[in-house]
Structure 1
Amino acid sequence: MFDTIRNNSKILMGLLVVLIIPSFVLFGVDGYSNMSDRGVVVAKVGDIEITQQEWDAMHQQEVDRIRASAPNLDAKLLGSAEARYASLERMVNDRLIAVAAEKQLLVTSDQRLANYLQQDPSIAGLRGPDGKLDMDRYRQLAASQGMTPEMLEARVRRDLSNQQVLASLQASAVASQRQTDSALQAYLQRREIQIQRFEPATFAAKVQVTDADLEKFYQTQTDRFRSPESADVEYLVLDAAALAKNIQLPEQDIKTYYEQNLQRLSGQEQRRASHILINAGKDAPAAEREKARAKADGLLADVRKDSKSFA
């Protein structure tokens, strides 16, 4: 069996190609399209779905637009949950108006689109002296908004169609009788007023003030001319202990200073002497004199021992 497969491998490969490719074309393309990740659906208006990716992109565009107009605005406010929800709500409103425009067949014609673009100040500034549109600058204008000229025109066409939906709603509004009367009365009313001006310069020349009047006015208005009491205080704190903490004296500097001021720092030489008398008379027996001598030698040894320990 394996020999048969090995000997007819080319025929089997052709058969597999015939079986696999048509099945992929018939069934795989649709499944591959459905597998494309469009993101989680966060809202739905009619048959139009709004995905998380579209929501994030729309919110980022609004953030960029707001930052361009108000650079000092706190970035935390733009990234808050309330701001993101407001972006989603505007997307839902726009999609809802678009669905209404589509159902009412409110389509913007090419002539109306052309007239609107000609009146747009941002596009009118792109025209040259001959009145022709500079296409290179027009493409740059669309690219600055992340679109091509075709995408820009499609967005303007969609906005004009949506405006027709809002215009029909606004035109259908009916003012009440009270609102109409208030508007007409404000328009038809007539009022007469008189103005009398009192200029200080007109009366300044007529005013004559004496020293007594000034003194009296000052005495009655003393608080108005009194300034709050204040004092300027300057002081310097000399703390020897605090200064000593920051002073570091090397041992060599101390030794040099001592040698230079030896006479001033050294006092007069003084010596202290003390003696111990061990009495042994000339007439004393030899044993007593030897006992006294041994005692003296012992005391002398103790003194020498204490001197070495002190040194």
Structure 2
Amino acid sequence: MFDTVRNNSKIMMGLLFLLVIPSFVMFGIEGYSRFTDKAAAVAHVDGQKITQQEWDEAHKREVDRIRAQMPNVDPKLLDSPAAKRATLEQMVNERVLAVAAQKQLLVTSDARLARDLQQNPVIASLRGPDGKLDMERYRQLAASQGLTPEGFEARVRQDLSSRQVLAPLQASALPLAKQTDAALQAYLQRREVQIQKFAAKDFAAKVQVSDVDLESYYKANAERFRSVESADVEYLVLDINSLMASVTLPEQDLKTYYEQNLQRLAGQEQRRASHILVNAAKDAPAAERDKARAKAQELLAQVRKAPKSFADVARKNSAMSRS
């Protein structure tokens, strides 16, 4: 077989060429196309592009975050075009703030970053009783967001820089001219107010109310005169265990009570006996009496060997049992 291949090497190379080249054309170009699609720009911020791959990865992290907070959310809502567009808009906003912070030279120092991380309640929960940070759990926290600890800290640093861009805008306010005029006029306005008091006692004598009027008003407003039903209950709990715990009986009192009630506490002695009867008449021959005696001795030895079998032995062998 190897001789055939060696003698027809040119033919074999031609066959391999025909098999390999089409496969490369069909699969290699398609893989290259997918790679270029992932690298295609979906948005530009200050000359920097956001690629399709970055968008997909950011949306995946956002979906994982939402599912961790709301496990019962419908997956179709998270995979909708609107949800993906919201992720892209968030990425654009973050890039815009990052560019603004860079142009305004708003840099977050290491001390500011360390202070923010120390005040973060999530990171504070990763500290042990000795106050030291559990680095393994810290790496797991960063990995849950698809980042290394260094990448996580870089993201926090970028967020702090972005806040410096928004802080002056949020703290400032530019009132409109109409708003300023309205506030100024309200401050400069002057008004005259006259007060007239009406005392109830001055009109009480002039009011005449009949029983019919009172009854009609009561029926129309019965709920206003209804008070909440209540009851005062007192009860006494007799707990025998609690009473027993509070009672102490000296030994002398017990002895005295026993001596005074000896007749009532002492019972008559009783005994209960059981036997196995092996019958032999008085006038029976000596051989028959010897036979009965031998049987009785045999049963006695059997019962002594196994006392618990007495009832069963008596039931089977006694001529008459009595207890």
The TM-score range, normalised by the shorter chain, is: 0.3 to 0.5
Q: TM-score, normalised by structure 2?
A: 0.44
Larger-gyration structure (1/2): 1
